[in-house]
Amino acid sequence: MTERPPIVIPDGFTRKELLAECDRELHMRDRVYPGLVARGKITGSAASTAVARLRAIRNIIAQLPGDAESQAQLFAPEPRRGR
């Protein structure tokens, strides 16, 4: 079995910060999208799909390893290239 390289989240964000941002955005969409649908700005289907995509992203992030050793590898800064 081939070993996968560690997952690196750029810009120094933590898993907890990314999850909080997804939660904030999901809450905002829950409040805003019904009005957009009612005014005909987006379809109900488009709104549902957008929310489902963001929930999928949140679920993927939530499944990333959460122990301290894995966190150190996951959130290490990306190596600089070409310097």
CA torsion 13→15→20→23, rounded to 10°? Answer: 120
Is 36 part of a structural domain of the chain?
yes
Is 2 part of a structural domain of the chain?
no
Is 73 part of a structural domain of the chain?
no
Is 12 part of a structural domain of the chain?
no
User: Mean pLDDT throughout 3-11?
Assistant: 72
* 37 within 8 A of 44, measured Cβ to Cβ: yes
pLDDT in tens, 33-76: 999 999 999 999 999 999 999 999 999 999 887 644 445 555 56
Is 7 part of a structural domain of the chain?
no
Token readout for 79 is 């190596």
DSSP annotation string for 60-82: HHHTS--SHHHHHHHTSPPPP--
* 36 within 8 A of 7, measured Cβ to Cβ: no
Is 33 part of a structural domain of the chain?
yes
- Whole-prediction pTM: 0.68
Total domains, the chain: 1
Residue range of the domain that includes 47: 22-64
Evaluate if residue 28 carries a pLDDT over 60.
yes
